[in-house]
Homo-oligomer: A and B are copies of this chain.
Amino acid sequence: MSVKKSHLLSGGVTLQAVARAAGVTIATASRSLNDAYGVHPATRARVLQVAKKLNYTPNRFARGLVTGRSDMIGLIVSDVRNSYFAEVARGVEDAALEAGRDVMLCNSDMNSARQMKSIVSLLDKRAEAIIMNSVAALSRDDQQQIAAAGVPIVLLNRAGRDGTFSTVCADNEKGGRLAAECLLRNGHRNVIHLTGPKSHANLARRSQAFVKAMSAQRGTKVCTVHAIHTLQGGYGAAQEIFRSMNGATAIFTGNDVMAFGVMRAAIEAGIRIPRDISLIGFDDVELAAMSFPPLTTIHQPKYSVGRAALEIVKELLESGTETPRHRVLDVQLVERASVAKISR
């Protein structure tokens, strides 16, 4: 019955049927359908026409069995519900569609066991490449096993030479610098930088560049505060901060959700943004444009990250190369209404 189903799927039309109807052997039929060379134009045209009329669609299993190709690529993200990854996924899918490929989506929950399970399943299904935001805890063993599969791997949000795998990420350093420049330009000299745990590499890069750019200007003061990088974390930290501002006129948060936490704490404390204090975030999540006031932030090219990852996959697949490629994508300042110009 399953076999019968399979017939239904392809409309029951096999290459054999097409060949017969076109008066050739399956060999020429196959060649006509695939390469342009080595088959008489007239024959080719006839086969194509017949195939179309019969509504022929090749059996992927049969083809895959001999070519080894599946035309599918795997995408593993921690969670699509995270809008960052939803954007990335969309970028990957759009680029994949253009490249005639489908994408298999997996969620890892930042759980290395689940991630490994997904990888195995994707490899099992013959994914031709895997794009993923790897969790840190990928054992040496797993890493080798993955590399051994000989399938291109593209890591998301990882800067530079990660060894064996390709990477795509946003220019966090530039983002940090842009935030500093924005604040400086608006006259802020005494600012607070609220960020996540030091272990978070991307956040750390932003912080470092931010502090460096601020310090480049004389008479500047930056006070860095670490908290959990969530809305709650930002909220809690802001409550503390508001108790003793020490003359700070602006806050730069490592990401937007922390900024939203700051906003909430500000409302509750009767502090108005940007009148009493300016605020600038990082990421440019959807909500940033809808908050009140709309948040000035650094735009991360999430969608482009997805596209870029698939482009790397395509390059790797086409060239047959194994040497990893690396891309860092540009970010930019999006000025909305949460940063005020202050007079000195």
Contacts and interface: CB of A to CB of B under 8 A. Distances in A.
Interface of A: 1-6, 8-9, 11, 57, 59-62, 64-72, 75, 79-81, 83, 86-87, 89-90, 93-94, 97, 102-107, 117-118, 120-126, 148-151, 231, 260, 263-264, 267, 287, 290, 292, 320
Contacts of A320: 1
Nearest to A85: B86
A67 to B, nearest CB: 5
Given A81-B90, A90-B107, A320-B1, A9 B123 contact: yes
B90 A102 contact: no
Given A79-B90, A86-B81, A60 B124 contact: yes
A11 to B, nearest CB: 8
A256 to B, nearest CB: 11
Chain A at the B interface: mostly helix, strand, loop or mixed? helix
Most B C-beta atoms less than 10 A away, residue of A11, A86, A260, A267 = A86
One complex includes copies of this chain to the number of 2
A8 B89 contact: no
A94 to B, nearest CB: 7
A335 to B, nearest CB: 19
A243 to B, nearest CB: 21
A58 B104 CA distance: 19
Contact of A93 (B86, B87, B106, B126): B106
Given A9-B149, A62-B65, A64-B61, A125 B107 contact: no
B260 A290 contact: yes
Contacts of A75: 105
Contact of A65 (B59, B71, B122, B149): B59
Contacts of A117: 97
6 tightest CB-CB pairs across the interface, nearest first?
A6-B68, A61-B64, A8-B150, A61-B65, A2-B68, A105-B105
Contacts of A124: 57, 60
26 contacts: A1-B320, A2-B67, A2-B68, A3-B66, A3-B68, A6-B67, A8-B148, A9-B68, A9-B123, A9-B150, A57-B123, A57-B124, A59-B65, A60-B125, A61-B65, A61-B70, A65-B65, A71-B125, A80-B86, A90-B107, A93-B107, A102-B104, A102-B121, A231-B290, A260-B290, A267-B292
Given A104-B102, A150-B9, A290 B287 contact: yes
Contacts of A90: 79-81, 107
Contacts of A120: 57
A123 B8 CA distance: 10
A292 B290 contact: no
Contacts of A8: 148-150
Given A11-B148, A60-B126, 9 more contacts: A6-B68, A9-B126, A9-B149, A57-B123, A72-B104, A75-B105, A93-B105, A97-B118, A104-B104
A150 to B, nearest CB: 4
B102 A150 contact: no
Contacts of A103: 104-105
Contacts of A66: 3
A103 B151 CA distance: 20
Contacts of A80: 80, 86, 89-90, 93
